[in-house]
Amino acid sequence: MKKVYSHTKRSTLDRCTLQYFYEYYAAGYEPPIPTLQQSLFSDAPPLEHQRIGPDDVVAAAACKLLASSYQVAGQILHSVIAQHWQHPDWTSEWFRRTAIERFDRAVANSLSSEDESVQRLLEHHYRLSDMDVTISAARARLLTAISNYFEHPDITRLVGEMFGSEQHGAEEAIGGLPRIGDFTISGRIDAWSRNGDQIRIVDWKMGGTVGDEDSLQLVLYGWWGSRRFSVAPECVNVQRVYLGDGKIETPLSMSERLIDRCRARLYQDVERMESLHIYGEQGQFEAFPACQKEKICHQCRFQGMCVALTAVR
Ligand code: SF4
């Protein structure tokens, strides 16, 4: 299995280690074929934990097709904004209508489609008691975010400045960063612009300001910007834009020191991922502790197969 580091992967690991196992290892797990030669000469560490069974592998793959209504709203928001960057002359009404139509279609398909390849909402799949409230709230948040993107004066000014720069782009894959240990860094930049040697990078957030957000992700983007455009770190500014309440964060100005600190933190994260990797590859789910936090489990797409939950049901 390829060793990849991403912000999403790290967030999953922070949220629940067992969810991390289901997300990144369970569906791709292949049980070993027991042979005498393998048991005598295999250099794999001795089995310490129970392995998942073939039914769990199938169940994990099926769960990976589920998404929460907030995830669907977030995906639609990012793709509609990226489309606006390609077609800035199209009307804001068209983007607003398209976003809501896409969301409503995703909800309708989730309810009615028999086709297994169609993405289902986890709220429907698990018949969550608060599904209607959650889906409506996700829809409302998508609408607010789109409205703020097109109407909030500070945000329209920022987007206008970026469109007016010498070069700009959206939804660009992070590439060209050195590996951290054996791990390749992956991710996506929401939007960037360049004026001479000055680089601006923006990360859209669908929600509102939460305060005290971790800056690791931003510094990683800034590091990418510095390498992608071959400029000094000090020329790169990165900021989050909260489309939920229209707040724009003060830009974070890059420096060698920040990048060094980011690299050190990435090494710590990767060390954690590396220490779990062998157990993940061997399907040893017991090496991955469950968070069992009600709020997190409620929005987890693996809740139907989770050993931690089935044990207490
Ligand atoms: S249901 Fe809860 S404990 Fe189980 S994997 Fe998901 S978040 Fe973790």
CA of 19 relative to ligand 1 center, distance in Å: 5
Distance, CA of 267 to chain centre: 20
CA of 292 relative to ligand 1 center, distance in Å: 6
HSE, side-chain direction, 13 A CA sphere, residue 291? 19
Could you tell me if residue 180 is inside a domain? yes
CB-based contact 24:183 (threshold 8 Å):
no
Could you tell me if residue 3 is inside a domain? no
Q: How many whole angstroms separate alpha carbon 306 and alpha carbon 300?
A: 9
Could you tell me if residue 255 is inside a domain? yes
pLDDT at position 117 is 74
Q: How many whole angstroms separate alpha carbon 225 and alpha carbon 65?
A: 33
Q: How many whole angstroms separate alpha carbon 145 and alpha carbon 92?
A: 13
- Site to probe by mutation for ligand 1, drawn from 11, 18, 68 as the one with most ligand atoms within 8 Å of Cβ, is 18
Could you tell me if residue 297 is inside a domain? no
Could you tell me if residue 91 is inside a domain? no
pLDDT at position 41 is 53
- Site to probe by mutation for ligand 1, drawn from 300, 301, 305 as the one with most ligand atoms within 8 Å of Cβ, is 300
| Ligand 1 neighbour 259 (Cβ under 6 A) | no
Q: How many whole angstroms separate alpha carbon 127 and alpha carbon 71?
A: 17
pLDDT at position 214 is 78
pLDDT at position 43 is 58
> CA dist 152 to 44, 47, 82, 310, Å?
57, 57, 18, 46
> CA dist 65 to 68, 259, 301, Å?
10, 36, 9
Could you tell me if residue 303 is inside a domain? no
pLDDT at position 112 is 87
Q: How many whole angstroms separate alpha carbon 272 and alpha carbon 24?
A: 14
pLDDT digit string, tens, across residues 23-39: 999 998 887 766 555 55
Which residue owns the Cα nearest ligand 1 atom 7?
Answer: 297
Q: Which two tokens stand for residue 92?
A: 């804001």
Q: Strands 252-253, 236-242: parallel, antiparallel or unpaired by DSSP?
A: antiparallel
| Ligand 1 neighbour 73 (Cβ under 6 A) | no
CB-based contact 118:109 (threshold 8 Å):
yes
Could you tell me if residue 24 is inside a domain? no
CA of 189 relative to ligand 1 center, distance in Å: 29
Output the pTM of the full model.
Answer: 0.90
Q: How many domains does the chain have?
A: 1
Exposure string of 98-135, with b = 16+ CB inside 10 Å and e = fewer, is bbbebbeebbeebeeeeeeeeebbbbbbbebeebeebb
Could you tell me if residue 6 is inside a domain? no
Q: How many whole angstroms separate alpha carbon 239 and alpha carbon 192?
A: 10
Position in ligand 1 atom list of the atom nearest CA 302: 6
Q: How many whole angstroms separate alpha carbon 264 and alpha carbon 241?
A: 26
CA of 58 relative to ligand 1 center, distance in Å: 17
- Site to probe by mutation for ligand 1, drawn from 22, 309, 310, 312 as the one with most ligand atoms within 8 Å of Cβ, is 309
- Segments of the chain with pLDDT less than 70: 33-48, 211-212, 311-313
pLDDT at position 13 is 97
pLDDT at position 37 is 52
pLDDT at position 211 is 66
CA of 308 relative to ligand 1 center, distance in Å: 7
pLDDT at position 286 is 93
Which residue owns the Cα nearest ligand 1 atom 5?
Answer: 19
pLDDT at position 47 is 61
pLDDT at position 34 is 63
Q: How many whole angstroms separate alpha carbon 119 and alpha carbon 103?
A: 12
Enumerate residues 6+ apart whose C-beta is below 8 A from 276. Answer: 17, 20, 21, 287, 288
Q: Domain holding 260: CATH number?
A: 3.90.320.10
Q: Which two tokens stand for residue 201?
A: 């990078």
Residue 179's domain spans which residues? 158-265
